[in-house]
């Protein structure tokens, strides 16, 4: 496996990991770590290896709640705890990829507006702690576009911790145009969890938040129109109510069952009617998408409307693509008609094509783009090398290295 790049896409919720050239990541696990709780042990007692990552971390905390405390290394897409991140990377490279990092270039991904210092910290850890020969840190939106062989488009990246709208033209992120919504998958889970808890009278002794996430992933869908959906529900509840059941651990003898009701479509509605969540953020996603594109240089707008790309697990909701497309198109058409009327009906406007594309697996799109990047013949030219790092220090990664010729 010598010299094949390792691609690591660390998300707020999940890390996607594998060798470049594969069609899917080999490992997908929660970006968390379980350690003894702070203050419960003296530093000298804390073995360096006394930690777990990913699902093992969640299991360790469930089994020994007094001994292990789970925390996530990223917040809203950005690395928040470098010590934890380093430990997660250590296990990514040694335990999962079973590689000697000195012989594998690494591709990391970064969210929009990632502070340049974060790139430098990442470079320091990768080059100094792990001794990797080359490092590429690429914008997640550019990689997502790369996964469908595109270089221009408006990427809607909605994962676990944050939703971004990122215009990209010819592989360059139009930074001034980026907008974000501080809501994503975790908030939808939380909202659905609350609705279920309020309605259900039986509260089985299980991790109901995890169950709410599974319910969301299995049954969540975006409806066409929320008022009409409620009417349909009321007309024939039995047709729409789903049953969700399980057993109570650890013995698994007791079973439980709950109903899944309107939360199926109310959760995902966060993007289209954010005001029902009673949160500060109130601009619907389709309106933001339109604002983002209109805020970009005029000659980029048509291609940006024409290729709106979904990325991230939260875009997997059924009917998300169609509702987003229809709503953006309606906003564009309405504005065009108004303009036209204002001009006294002269010079009928040309139709603007609005296309929303959903890649084969939006949750892995960023990783897949990284995998394709790492397979390119000139990939190393798009990296900062260890030699350059040794000569110039972490600042070699200050700029976005993707495509930067200065590292040749």
Ligand X SMILES: Nc1ncnc2c1ncn2[C@@H]1O[C@H](COP(=O)(O)OP(=O)(O)OP(=O)(O)O)[C@@H](O)[C@H]1O
- Strand, coil or helix: what is 164? strand
Site for ligand X in 2-61 (CB under 6 A): 11-14
Out of 7, 8, 11, 79, the only residue in the binding site for Mg ion (CB under 5 A) is 11
Site for ligand X in 330-349 (CB under 6 A): none
Which of ligand X, Mg ion, none sits in contact with 314, Cβ below 5 to 8 A by type?
ligand X
Out of 286, 312, 359, 370, the only residue in the binding site for ligand X (CB under 6 A) is 312
State the nearest-atom distance from the C-beta of 238 to ligand X, in Å.
24
State the nearest-atom distance from the C-beta of 73 to ligand X, in Å.
11
Of 95-103, 156-164, 187-195, 291-299, which part binds Mg ion (CB under 5 A)? 156-164
- Strand, coil or helix: what is 113? coil
| List of residues 6+ apart from 35 with CB closer than 8 A | 46, 50, 51, 68, 69, 71
Question: H or E stretch including 74?
Answer: strand 74-75
The yes or no reply on residue 101 touching ligand X (CB under 6 A) is: no
The yes or no reply on residue 159 touching ligand X (CB under 6 A) is: yes
State the nearest-atom distance from the C-beta of 121 to ligand X, in Å.
17
- The answer to whether 136 and 397 have CB atoms below 8 angstroms apart is no
Out of 52, 317, 367, 407, the only residue in the binding site for ligand X (CB under 6 A) is 317
The yes or no reply on residue 316 touching ligand X (CB under 6 A) is: yes
The yes or no reply on residue 374 touching ligand X (CB under 6 A) is: no
Out of 87, 186, 323, 329, the only residue in the binding site for ligand X (CB under 6 A) is 186
Out of 220, 262, 303, 394, the only residue in the binding site for ligand X (CB under 6 A) is 220
- The answer to whether 6 and 106 have CB atoms below 8 angstroms apart is yes
| List of residues 6+ apart from 270 with CB closer than 8 A | 183, 187, 188, 191, 276, 277
Which of ligand X, Mg ion, none sits in contact with 284, Cβ below 5 to 8 A by type?
none
Task: Report residue 114: phi and psi, to 5°.
Answer: -65, 125
Could you write out the DSSP letters of every residue in 295-347?
Answer: TS-HHHHHHHHH-EEEESGGGGSBTHHHHHHHHHHHHHHHHHHHHHHHTTS-S
- Strand, coil or helix: what is 61? helix
Q: 216 to each of 316, 353, 390, how far by Cα in Å?
A: 10, 32, 48
State the nearest-atom distance from the C-beta of 234 to Mg ion, in Å.
37
**Residue 205: Cβ-neighbour burial (10 angstroms; 0-12, 13-18, 19+):** exposed
Out of 18, 153, 161, 303, the only residue in the binding site for ligand X (CB under 6 A) is 161
Rounded distance between C-alpha atoms, residue 408 and residue 398, angstroms: 16
Output 108 or 223, the one with its CB closest to Mg ion: 108
Of 47-55, 196-204, 210-218, 346-354, which part binds ligand X (CB under 6 A)? 210-218
Within 176-299, strands assigned E span 179-181, 242-247, 255-260
Total number of residues binding ligand X (CB under 6 A)?
Answer: 22
Strand partners, 90: none
Output 217 or 357, the one with its CB closest to ligand X: 217
Of 5-13, 205-213, 215-223, 290-298, which part binds Mg ion (CB under 5 A)? 5-13
Of 81-89, 129-137, 153-161, 291-299, which part binds ligand X (CB under 6 A)? 153-161
The alpha carbon of 13 is separated from its chain's Cα centroid by a whole number of angstroms, namely 8
Residues at the site binding ligand X, with contacts judged by CB under 6 A:
11-14, 77, 159-162, 184-186, 213, 216-217, 220, 312-314, 316-317, 363
By CB under 5 A, name the binding residues for Mg ion: 11, 159
């Amino acid at each position: 496996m010598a010299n094949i790049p390792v691609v690591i896409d660390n998300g707020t919720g999940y890390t996607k990991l594998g060798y470049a050239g594969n069609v899917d990541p080999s490992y997908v696990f929660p970006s968390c770590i379980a350690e003894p709780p702070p203050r419960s042990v003296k530093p000298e007692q804390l073995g360096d290896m006394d930690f777990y990552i990913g699902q093992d971390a969640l299991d360790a905390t469930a089994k020994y709640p007094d001994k292990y405390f789970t925390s996530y290394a990223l917040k809203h897409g950005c690395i928040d705890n470098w010590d934890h991140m380093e430990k997660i990377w250590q296990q990514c490279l040694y335990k999962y990829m079973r590689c000697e990092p000195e012989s594998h270039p690494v591709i990391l991904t970064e969210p929009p507006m990632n502070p340049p210092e974060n790139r430098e910290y990442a470079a320091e850890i990768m080059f100094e702690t792990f001794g990797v020969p080359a490092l590429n840190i690429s914008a997640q939106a550019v990689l997502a576009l790369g996964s469908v062989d595109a270089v221009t488009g408006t990427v809607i990246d909605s994962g676990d911790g944050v939703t971004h709208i990122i215009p990209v033209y010819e592989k360059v992120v139009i930074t001034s145009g980026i907008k974000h919504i501080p809501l994503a998958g975790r908030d939808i889970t939380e909202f659905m969890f609350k609705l279920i808890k309020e309605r259900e009278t039986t509260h089985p002794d299980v991790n109901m938040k995890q169950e709410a996430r599974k319910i969301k992933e299995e049954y969540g869908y975006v409806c066409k129109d929320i008022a009409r959906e409620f009417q349909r529900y009321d007309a024939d509840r039995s047709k729409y109510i789903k049953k969700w059941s399980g057993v109570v651990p650890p013995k698994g003898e007791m079973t439980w069952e709950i109903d899944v009701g309107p939360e199926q479509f109310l959760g995902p509605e966060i993007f289209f009617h954010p005001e029902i969540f009673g949160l500060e953020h109130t601009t619907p996603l389709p309106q933001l998408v339109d604002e983002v594109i209109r805020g970009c240089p005029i000659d980029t707008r048509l291609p940006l409307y024409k290729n709106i790309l979904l990325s991230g697990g939260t875009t997997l909701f059924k009917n998300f693509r169609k509702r987003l497309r229809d709503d953006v198109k309606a906003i564009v058409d309405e504005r065009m008609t108004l303009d036209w009327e204002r001009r006294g009906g002269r010079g009928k406007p040309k139709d603007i094509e609005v296309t929303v594309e959903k890649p084969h697996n939006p949750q892995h799109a960023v990783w897949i783009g990284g995998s394709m990047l790492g397979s390119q013949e000139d990939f190393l030219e798009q990296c900062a090398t260890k030699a350059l790092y040794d000569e110039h220090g972490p600042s070699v990664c200050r700029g976005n290295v993707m495509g930067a010729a200065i590292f040749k």
